[in-house]
Amino acid sequence: MDIVFTDRVNRILELATDKVEDHQVLTPFHLFLAMCEESSGVCEELSSYLVKGYGYNFLHDFSRSLQHFHSSPINLPLCTVPVSPEVESVFKFAAGRMHRYNQIRLNEGHLMQALLKLDPIIHSLLTEKDRAFVEKTVCSSRDLLVAMDYYQVQDSMGASTFIRRAKRADLEALLDLVEKQFGSGWIVSIRNGFQKDEISIFLAVVKDRIVGFACYESFENKKGTFGPMGVVSGERNKGLGAQLLHHCLSDLKKKNYRYVVIEGAGPIEFYEKECNAVLIPIYESHRNNG
């Protein structure tokens, strides 16, 4: 499997591998337990939720009661220890979700979707309400917050020759790109951006071809917001997304907002690294409290 993990998933895999004892193989439950122990982003919320509901030792006690014996462990280039066949199925399912969302790195949301779908132990461990919370917290796009008082405009922005503000004449070409590459869900936001006196959309243009875009204050015309953003698959991992993001944040900083909301972020780790964005928490009581 030719899969590239995010840094967070790499840490999860390392934590899971450390849990494999002699004569054992890596199982989906090892991955789930490691996700609960990863101390950043949505995984931190997952851990907090389960600890509050069940107690700190619950998952560890549960894991010790399981016997991870498999008659036919397999080796994967992704892993440094033998894995159960179920782990290979989990990675394949997660990779399918990644490709479905037109993404290039397998993140914790893709991994958790696969674990909830395929592993009966994890499914039985969580109540229906628990699973709904986990899906909402870990597997769904999330809103993030950027503290603009601390945001620094990137020095490299002025040197970018690929990024420019959209012009009125770009509308039809951009709509066509978005429809073909990302679907119709963002069309209204694109039109909103073009209706402003100063178009609130930046474009990535390579050889006179639009290959990416980013909007601000366009989704439902909400003030102080960023998104949506997209870069065509063949031009990703080249820094264009980061440049688009910073051009938009630079404009928003000029408006003197103290905070900017990144609406419905899919690759959460990207925004955490690029602009120190933080998750807006999901507050929900555990089943035992209500």
The CATH number that applies at residue 211 is 3.40.630.30
162 in the same domain as 250 = yes
Residue 213 pLDDT more than 80? yes
- Average the pLDDT over each of 172-176, 182-186, 227-231, 264-268 and give the range with the smallest value: 264-268
173 in the same domain as 153 = yes
Any idea what the CATH number is for the domain that residue 41 is in? 1.10.1780.10
Identify whether 59 is part of a domain: yes
The answer for residues whose C-beta is within 8 angstroms of residue 287's C-beta and 6 or more apart is 53, 127, 129, 130
Domain finish residue from 140, 160, 176: 140
102 in the same domain as 135 = yes
* Number of domains present in the structure of the chain: 2
The pLDDT, as a whole number, for residue 288 is: 47
Identify whether 288 is part of a domain: no
273 in the same domain as 173 = yes
194, 221 in Cβ contact below 8 A? no
The pLDDT, as a whole number, for residue 256 is: 96
166 in the same domain as 117 = no
Average pLDDT of the chain is 89
The pLDDT confidence band at residue 81, using thresholds 50, 70 and 90, is very high
248 in the same domain as 152 = yes
189 in the same domain as 206 = yes
34 in the same domain as 19 = yes
Which of the given ranges, 109-113, 158-162, 234-238, has the highest pLDDT on average? 109-113
The pLDDT, as a whole number, for residue 289 is: 45
The pLDDT, as a whole number, for residue 196 is: 97
Round the CA-based radius of gyration of the chain to a whole number and report it. Answer: 21
The pLDDT, as a whole number, for residue 59 is: 66
The pLDDT confidence band at residue 284, using thresholds 50, 70 and 90, is low
Domain finish residue from 105, 123, 140: 140
The gap from C-alpha 275 to its chain's centroid, in whole angstroms, comes to 15
The pLDDT, as a whole number, for residue 243 is: 94
Identify whether 101 is part of a domain: yes
Identify whether 1 is part of a domain: no
Q: In DSSP terms, which residues pair with 146 in a beta bridge?
A: 260
Domain finish residue from 113, 140, 167: 140
Q: Which domain holds residue 253?
A: 145-279
Which of the given ranges, 17-21, 65-69, 155-159, 210-214, has the highest pLDDT on average? 210-214
Q: In DSSP terms, which residues pair with 204 in a beta bridge?
A: 163, 212
The pLDDT, as a whole number, for residue 24 is: 80
- Average the pLDDT over each of 161-165, 178-182, 240-244, 285-289 and give the range with the smallest value: 285-289
pTM of the entire structure?
0.88
253 in the same domain as 163 = yes
Cβ burial of 94 (10 Å; 0-12, 13-18, 19+) is buried
- Average the pLDDT over each of 1-10, 90-99, 171-180 and give the range with the smallest value: 1-10
Closest CA to 68 of 9, 23, 2: 23
